[in-house]
Amino acid sequence: MTGQEGGLDRRSFLGACAAAGAGIAGACSLWGGQDPDPAGEAAQTGDPGWRITDTGADDAIEGYADRVSVDPGEEFGLYVSTPAPAYRVSAYRIGWYGGAQARRVWHSGPQPGVVQRAPSFFPATGTVRADWERGPTVSTEGWPEGAYLLRLDAEGGDGGQRYVPLVVRSREAAGRTVLLHAPATWQAYNRWGGYSLYEGKDGQDRTRALVVSFDRPYDKDGAEKFLAYERAAVVLAERLGLPLAYTTGNDVDRDPGVLKDAASVVILGHDEYMTPAQREYLTRARDAGTNLAILGANTCFRRIRLEPTPLEPKHAGERRIVACYKSAAARDPHHGHQDALVTTDFRAAPGADPESSLTGVLYEGYPVDAPYVVHRPGHWAFAGTGVRAGDTFDHLVGAEYDRVTPEAPTPEGIEIVAHSPLVCNGRASHQDSAYYTVDSGAGVFAVGTMRWVEALMAGTDENGRNHGMDARTGEFVTRVTENVLRTFAHGPAARTHPAHGNVPEVYGDRT
């Protein structure tokens, strides 16, 4: 089936400006008089030149901020190392902006370049910490709430560019769609200095770090995980003109009030690492009527702790260490006396609590590349796509996937809307997209594949080949995401869109 034959609305996340403008213009009436864009940000002119064009050598320029997120108007410090004689900093807010995807809200003058000292290494935990001298202090006065990329541009010498991500968080979430960014997961995969929570300098799991620090740059271009798994969803949400709020998992761990009375929370494309407190507060939000949209897979899989570092006195409560001992849980200092804080998988002992009780789906495997198969074409999330039962979208399932697992803790009455056969590591199984509702009226929609947010860019010139996904897939995923975000923005979804459980139909009665 082609998009045209199936009646698909032919808009990718970079869709027509006219359609975007119509969505924004109608926002005031749609949201009952609430202005979704009080600062007039949607009307601002974007800056297509926000992208990095030359990373340069590995050490051409690197940097990190001493805050993961700030309130509007707060300051943060930058730590930069470069052999270039000077560098400049530009702050780009990610959004729609007529398709430009970012707007420059601030830029510095030339800053003196300096090559910072070698990082500190702590062999007991494999932790790398840069411990650099602080560079410029940046005020966010006048910066709108949102997700930002700070671009570092080396001047002179051999040049080079890098990003430093930052969230200017929202002070309240009431009535809004909260975009939940996942810096703990970004940091878990960060190999800067040779160590991540996955491997050491020799590339082996046995030498991996048990504890990683935010006091170091991110590897590669500085924002790989944000760009792949979060950016396109931010752009789409802003194009829809929804009342939005921005926060991070670190902020939710620190203060559950950042979710208070939210209409919905959007868990973005890869939010694998969560603290027990973050998970608890998301569950409380659901049970108070806040919808959850989970636009990825492998969500809430690892149980972590956030701990302080030497930068802590500057910003009390930041806790810039991510601890996750995983299979080495017996070495965790909390093992044997505070089992609920031992850092391993949520489904693993001690304190086992599989993620499916919140997400509805259970992470099952990696790597996989398989077509996504529609099971319930009449589901409200598929409205306007024209799909039929059995329609497929190549490569949309991957590289990690989730499924409804009746043997695991599974919310009652969960509805499987996509059911995709696959083979992972020689084992036949299925991927599922699923929807359930709870007594508070909240709905939870989980897409069950890690490629969902990347698919918003399929068929465009963004983000490379996007695993071979085509424009038709991009249009389908965009429309489904629009349906979910718009529906969830209206409050408890069960009032108008109750789930219709079908696990016995799909997997048989296993009671």
Can you give the pTM of this predicted structure? 0.92
Expressed in percent and rounded to 5, the helix, strand and coil fractions of the chain are 25, 30, 50
What sign does the dihedral 212-214-216-220 (CA atoms) show? Answer: positive
Model confidence at 15, in pLDDT bands (50, 70, 90)?
Answer: very low
Residue 280: phi, psi to the nearest 5?
-60, -40
The per-residue b/e assignment along 54-81, b for 16 or more CB within 10 angstroms, e otherwise, is ebbeeebbbbbbbbbbbebebebbbbbb
**Average pLDDT value for residue range 203-213:** 96
Query: Residue ranges of the alpha helices (H) in 58-123?
Result: none
| Whole-angstrom distance, CA of residue 397 vs CA of residue 448 | 8
Q: How many CA atoms lie within 13 A of 331 on its CB side?
A: 11
pLDDT tens across 140-194, in order?
999 999 999 999 999 988 899 999 999 999 999 999 999 999 999 999 999 999 9
Helix (H, G, I), strand (E, B), or coil: what is residue 279? Answer: helix
| Whole-angstrom distance, CA of residue 478 vs CA of residue 233 | 9
Q: Supply 222's token pair.
A: 């500085």
Contact 411, 435 (CB under 8 A): no
| Whole-angstrom distance, CA of residue 247 vs CA of residue 313 | 22
Task: Give pLDDT, residue 339.
Answer: 85
Residue 124 CA: distances (Å) to CA of 9, 121, 127, 339, 349:
55, 9, 8, 21, 23
pLDDT tens across 302-312, in order?
999 999 876 55
Q: What is the DSSP string of 286-301?
A: HHTT-EEEE-SSSTT-
pLDDT tens across 315-349, in order?
655 789 999 999 999 999 999 888 888 999 999 99
DSSP secondary-structure letter at 110?
-
Q: Supply 283's token pair.
A: 């569950």
Model confidence at 32, in pLDDT bands (50, 70, 90)?
Answer: very low
Instruction: Calculate the CA dihedral of residues 202, 208, 209, 214 and round it to 10 degrees.
Output: 70
| Whole-angstrom distance, CA of residue 459 vs CA of residue 478 | 12
Say if residue 13's pLDDT is above 70: no
| Whole-angstrom distance, CA of residue 393 vs CA of residue 385 | 12
C-alpha Rg value of the chain to the nearest Å: 22
Contact 93, 147 (CB under 8 A): yes
Count CB-CB contacts under 10 A for residue 116. 17
Q: What percent of the chain has pLDDT over 90?
A: 85
